Amino acid sequence: MKINLLDLKAQYDTIEHEINKVVKEVLESTHFIMGPNVKKLEAEIAEYTGTKYGIGVANGTDALMLTLKALGIGEGDEVITTPFTFFASAETTSVVGATPVFADIEKDTLCIDCDSIEKNITKKTKAIIPVHIFGQMCDMDRIMEIAEKHNLVVIEDACQAIGAQYKGKKAGSIGHVGCYSFFPTKNLGGYGDGGMIVTNDDELAEKIKLLRVHGSKVKYHHEVIGHNSRLDEIQAAILRVKLNYIDKWNDARKEHAHIYNELLKDVDVQLPTERENCKHVYHLYTIQSLKRDELAAYLKENGIATGIYYPIPVHFQKVYEYLNYKKGDLKNAEDACEKTFALPLYPEMTKEQQEYVVSKIKEFFER
Ligand SMILES: *Cc1c(COP(=O)(O)O)cnc(C)c1O
């Protein structure tokens, strides 16, 4: 049996007619930039997440970058984030000229650790970027408390967590700003790049909208130096179809994760944990093992794809050598990078496929 980490074709097969119809409508309308689908998707995502504004942008990285810029964060400022994430969570801080500062992660959830955030706050700290890693939300009550105490902005990197919840509130809606990615492999993925920013802040929303189109509100009148970072109309039309299914798909991911947990309960690997009163949406189902690399190779031999998230913590990336982090500085994140990897998981996956994956994992340990 061959099993992919993700099967986007299986998902397309279930919505093919709806997708083809809306794409054709956009093609025939010839309204390709900032058309009605972008506006509607912005309103729909704002409503879905319980926020006032949704602002479509070109991708999740730009969502973070434009937010930092709109907040006036730049040279001389520090932004605290996790080193156990996709590079963009920190890269964007550097792009605007500020310095990323890394806090360690919680051993069990792999989310940013709040004690470590507090230890890293200095006079220069301007913002915290918690990343809801693999679809599980960070300890947002404590993060907001810390932010309030030190007068910091909280930018939720919810790129992996659309639909996830923390005590009944959606990912992206608790911080001052939330950022989503519609990269094809994300839980709500387009068929190309896309991203969105959500916020309740009127002034910030205005600034972000200005920055995403060349600093211009009225065509050919430019108030500030901006960017070209719009969400594509075809992607917006596709995402509006997919948004109707996001809860169903997230629930299926969660069910499959629980099936894995059950099937793997006697196997010598560390299973994912769920924060209390929260909804984990399992962007990735990750397990931990010191034998990760051998196990992944064995699964590959048996036709099963796995993904290593993340092979190198961000503080050890070559480009951040100048920050002078040493081995052991962020121990939990460094350990996680040696042990964590993802098993195949997607909404359309069958129990038979999951059983096959687990049977091969058991076979590996019994050899
Ligand atoms: C995917 C991702 C991003 C970047 O999103 P793009 O749309 O690929 O630019 C940022 N942060 C995290 C945590 C992500 O997973």
pLDDT digits (tens, 9 = 90+) for 256-287: 999 999 999 999 999 999 999 999 999 999 99
- Give the residue carrying structure tokens 């506006």: 39
Pocket probe mutation, ligand 1, options 6, 59, 61, max atoms within 8 Å of Cβ: 61
Q: Confirm or reject: Cβ of 81 under 6 Å from ligand 1.
A: no
**Mean pLDDT value of segment 29-43:** 97
Reported confidence tier of residue 366, pLDDT bands at 50, 70, 90: very high
Cis peptide before 220 (omega within 30 of 0): no
Taking the C-alpha atoms of residue 202 and residue 308, their distance in angstroms, rounded to an integer, is 40
Cβ–Cβ under 8 Å, residues 175 and 127? no
- Give the residue carrying structure tokens 């093609």: 27
Query: In the prediction, which pLDDT does 257 show?
Result: 98
Instruction: From the CA of 59, give the closest atom in ligand 1.
Output: 7
Reported confidence tier of residue 171, pLDDT bands at 50, 70, 90: very high
Reported confidence tier of residue 80, pLDDT bands at 50, 70, 90: very high
Task: Give the domain ranges of the chain.
Answer: 8-243, 246-366
**How does pLDDT run across 204-231, given as a tens digit for each residue?**
999 999 999 999 999 999 999 999 999 9
Q: How many residues would you count in the chain?
A: 367
- This prediction has a pTM of 0.98
Reported confidence tier of residue 4, pLDDT bands at 50, 70, 90: very high
Beta bridge partners of 165: 170, 279
Q: Confirm or reject: Cβ of 60 under 6 Å from ligand 1.
A: yes
**How does pLDDT run across 105-118, given as a tens digit for each residue?**
999 999 999 999 99
| Percent of the chain whose pLDDT exceeds 70 | 100
Taking the C-alpha atoms of residue 46 and residue 51, their distance in angstroms, rounded to an integer, is 5
- Same CATH topology for 8-243 and 246-366: the answer is no
Indicate the CATH number for domain 246-366: 3.90.1150.10
Q: For the domain made up of 8-243, give the CATH fold.
A: Aspartate Aminotransferase; domain 2 (3.40.640)
Q: Confirm or reject: Cβ of 159 under 6 Å from ligand 1.
A: yes
